[in-house]
A and B are shown apart, each in its own frame.
Chain A
Amino acid sequence: MGLLAFKDAAHLVSRTGLGAEWDVIKQLEGRSKQEAVEWVLNPKLSTLKSAPPMTPWLKLEPMRLTDMKSRNSAWAISQREGKRLQAWWVEQMLATRTPFLERMTLFWHNHFTSSIQKTLQPSLLYQQNLLLRRHALGSFAELLQAIARDPAMLVYLDGHQNSKDKPNENFARELLELFTIGRGYYREPDVKAATQAFTGWRVDYQTGKFVIRPAEHAGGQHTFLGKTGSFTGDAIIKILLEHPRTAENLTEKFWLAFVSNRPDQVLIRTWAQQLRQSSYDIKGLMRTVLNSDAFWMPANRGTLVKSPVELVIGTVRMLPYPRESTQEMLNLCRLLGQELFDPPNVKGWKGGEHWISTQTLLVRNAFLSKLSRGNLNEKVASGVAIPDVPAEQLVEWLLPVKPLKPLPETPGARRLVRSLLLDPAFQVT
């Protein structure tokens, strides 16, 4: 492929942004593929909305240990502030000029899951979100080391309770099963050995920050994945990063998030090897993914289901309809199965076809129908407008494949856009 045609640029923007924004597509149209990919991968620094007020750890945590009344009010605070935090991210995603960074942060949130409901500490989840942002396109090795020390993660997977007297396997098990090598490549004694290695990695009660307590660390010799020694948590992480399955699992996740619903195992092994050799350079992996033939192949267009966030926030970002309130967008995402900062379980959102059931499709359709009844000509705060272009280009803009429904016979952009939004092909990208 030489220079990007309009519909290729639309494909790149739709897969890496939040909504296929017209202006961005026009900016990339006609550039070379490599150049466009670099543009996506190297976003200008953008501003982050300031955080909502949240009660600090030190105030909230002691309330849980006293009487019932304080416990109840700690719970109420965490619920109220959790909702504010969710609203903060939604508004950040609506406003940002670097949606790719939000997509990547959401990708990592779904890999290193943590929930406001288990931790009941919204301020920790906010800190975790900042951490995921910092490392979103950096090194997975550094991200993994940082997440193992992240207070929200330590609370979410009970790592903060893991001591030599009372070992807690939760974090070690998910580290192996979900974060790195995956099921089938370790056995129970490996989980136990990893658990021992992480004993004493705690959250300091006074500050809510990560701390290593040597007195709670279980020393002694352990065997982990065939290696015997006295391991620290970092030593375990190092062994996991050297294991080919870690990079392969991660690469497959990238494939499913950006390329198609059918992973090509041969290609994945090759990319995974490159990833490992690059010291887990995430941006490098994304460069490989976005420049690959598989990414651009027509057969792979329309094979990814838009997540609720992409559907709700993306559609609002790309079209000049009067926007829903933030609360309503959060409510919609919840009904569609994606609550930010509160994934259904430690495995995160399964995604893909699992986003679509009779129940969610009813809500998806009702949302798009309600939205597209709004007056397109109305001036909206975002400043976007419907481009004045031929019908064929509106189709190429909004759908990744040919429309599945017949187009309206009466001409008019508003009617056409509504019809395209309600086409089942609008659910995919």
Chain B
Amino acid sequence: MNRREFMGMAALLPWLGGFPGEVLAVPARPQQRILVLVKLAGGNDGLNTLIPHADPLYYQYRPSIGVPKHRVLNIGENQGLNPYLKALKPWWDKGSMAWVQGVGYPHGTLSHFRSSDIWETAVDASQYTDTGWLGALLPECKPGLHGIAIGENSGPMAGKNCNTIAMQSPQSFLSQISLLEDIQPVATNSVLAHVTNVHHQLYAAGEQLSNKLQRPVTLGIPFSTSKLGRDLEAVAKMILTGVDAAVYMVTLDGFDTHSNQNAVQSNLLHQLAGALDSFAQAMQRGGRWNDVMLMTYSEFGRRVQENHGKGTDHGTAGVQLVMGGKVRGGLYGEPLDLSHLDSDGNPQHTVDFRTVYGTVAQRWLGQPNPWSQFGTLPFV
């Protein structure tokens, strides 16, 4: 039973009235549920992340880059983790980690830019929009600040009504926001109304953020000094300091492994696992693990057949990792069928990525599901 459930029951049980006041100091409203997105930019190779080590085809297609069976961290159902994800194994064992397999979309495009846009705007491969999938969802979810991106990429939160802040680091944000004076929204015309409203929203978000960022909590958990480690440390501090954003986003770049894949990807997965492990520990220690869901995504998976440079070329379906105190651990979706590849050598996706988004919208953020035709998955 978490704190919220406890408080819910407490209201029904008159004998609890005898408890000291602070035990029942109920927060004014339930804690904001938080989504943390980790973009694995460049196209992460799903098959060497969550490894189908019992499938002989996997080793046939990847004679030199296939991860030997004895090194794979077996997690059952013939799947195993890349050994460089070792730091995450305890979270799998605790049941707070889910993997969604075979995630993609019909007519997968092999362009980084276009596929990234598709993933971030949740459209069909033949359609275009400027509003990110969260950019449309979040303004319905809550007022005020919606999302914070560390780095430049905040694509999923793009949208003219989505109050997103992109910052290189909390320090650079503090210096930028100090230059902004407040303005009251005007109604001179609808364009100026929009500009002044956004200006005012930005000022309000800036006020809140700078107050909190100037006095961050100490986490008591060491983070690695990799860029991702530092970025997730900043996110952890913002969450535990009580910054009121629903979504945070960080990016780990470098997954475009056309050559010498194993050296590059191992290093990246090692950074990823270390940073996620520290982040999860920090959330647990700070009492927010049950309010946080962390999810990775990448613009595409990679080709099944390795290339001549011990790497892989652009592919289609990939895997997504989901973690959180409320996450129902396990494997979701069907593994890719390596015996049926299309003319480009890519397998058919088994889960549409909008199934995952719909799950986040409906089962995590408690919103109507804009992608209901794709269904949801019970990972949360």
Contact = CB atoms under 8 A, between A and B. Distances in A.
Q: Do A and B bind each other?
A: yes
A315 to B, nearest CB: 16
Nearest to B117: A345
Contact of A68 (B117, B152, B179, B307): B307
Contact of A359 (B113, B130, B166, B183): B166
B164 A359 contact: yes
Interface string B181-198: 101001011111011101
A117 interface: yes
A361 B202 contact: yes
B127 to A, nearest CB: 10
A366 interface: yes
B196 A365 contact: no
Contacts of B311: 68
Contacts of B196: 404, 424
Interface stretch (A43-51, A235-243, A350-358): A350-358
A422 B178 CA distance: 13
Interface in A277-303: 299, 302-303
Interface in B274-294: none
Interface in B110-159: 111, 113-114, 117, 128, 130, 149, 152, 154, 158-159
B128 A346 contact: yes
Contacts, number: 109
Contact of B191 (A261, A370, A405, A422): A261
B186 A362 contact: no
Most buried by A among B162, B177, B195, B259: B195
Nearest to B173: A362
A80 interface: no
Nearest to B313: A68
A350 B129 CA distance: 9
A416 interface: no
Contact of B192 (A68, A359, A363, A401): A401
B70 interface: no
B183 A424 contact: yes
Contacts of A352: 191
Nearest to B131: A354
Interface string A107-128: 0000000010110000000000
Contacts of B194: 353, 356
Contacts of B94: none
A405 B183 contact: yes
A428 B192 contact: yes
Contacts of A405: 181, 183
B363 interface: no
A369 B192 CA distance: 20
Interface in B180-226: 180-181, 183, 186, 188-192, 194-196, 198-199, 201-202, 205-206
B180 A365 contact: yes
Most buried by A among B154, B177, B189, B196: B189
A222 interface: no
Interface string A248-277: 000000000000011000000000000000
B180 A302 contact: no
A304 interface: yes
Given A118-B113, A404-B186, A359 B191 contact: no
Contacts of B308: 67-68
A407 to B, nearest CB: 13
Given A362-B177, A405-B183, A427 B195 contact: yes
B79 interface: no
A427 B197 CA distance: 13
Nearest to A402: B188
Interface of B: 111, 113-114, 117, 128, 130, 149, 152, 154, 158-160, 162-166, 176-177, 179-181, 183, 186, 188-192, 194-196, 198-199, 201-202, 205-206, 258-259, 307-309, 311
Top-5 shortest CB links A-B:
A369-B179, A358-B202, A366-B176, A345-B128, A358-B163
16 contacts: A68-B259, A68-B308, A68-B309, A261-B190, A261-B191, A262-B190, A302-B189, A352-B191, A353-B190, A356-B194, A359-B164, A404-B188, A424-B195, A424-B196, A424-B199, A425-B192
